[in-house]
Amino acid sequence: MTDVDATDFAVVVYREDERWEAEILPVALTEDLDGLIHALRQQPSLGGTIGLVAVGDDFFVAIRLLGEDTMVFLSDVTASVDWPLARQVLDHLDIPVPDDEELDQVLPVGDMSIFADLGLDEMEIGAISGDLELYPDEMLLSISERLGFAPAFERALDALG
């Protein structure tokens, strides 16, 4: 079991009445990909539902549900060595956990075009996730700004305290 502290969070983002809304999900979902996807499926939304998870100072996961499609993005493949959620994402994507020789580089994996139709292309999400100066929550804030739901995202995070 990993230590869960205040920097671990999961947020669901969705459209309701033409506005973006965001709500905090239980922190236990930061270690359970299947539970996270199930929770996102419970939130009806026009244009799909987005899940954003930050774990420690290490990585983030973005999930987008569009109809029956589930798109998953992991900001750092090397996180799978230490973190259950990152390992579950690799299992979901059918990508092997990297071995020791492959741990020297921070690389994102998954659906790089997860937000392309919303205006965030593969190059941009790659650049955000590769910025070693940013913490995962800052990366997710940057993504939320580019996608147009930063105010809702920030309100949800403010509820954390």
21/44 Cα distance (integer angstroms): 12
pLDDT tens-place values along the chain, 161 residues long:
333 344 799 999 999 888 999 999 999 998 999 999 999 999 877 778 999 999 988 999 999 999 889 999 999 998 988 899 999 999 999 998 887 666 677 789 999 999 999 999 999 999 999 998 999 999 999 999 999 999 999 999 998 86
Q: Residue 156: name the closest of 52, 5, 56 by CA.
A: 52
Query: For residues 131 and 139, what is the distance between their CA atoms, to the nearest angstrom?
Result: 8
Six-digit token pair at 136?
């995962």
Strand partners, 66: 69
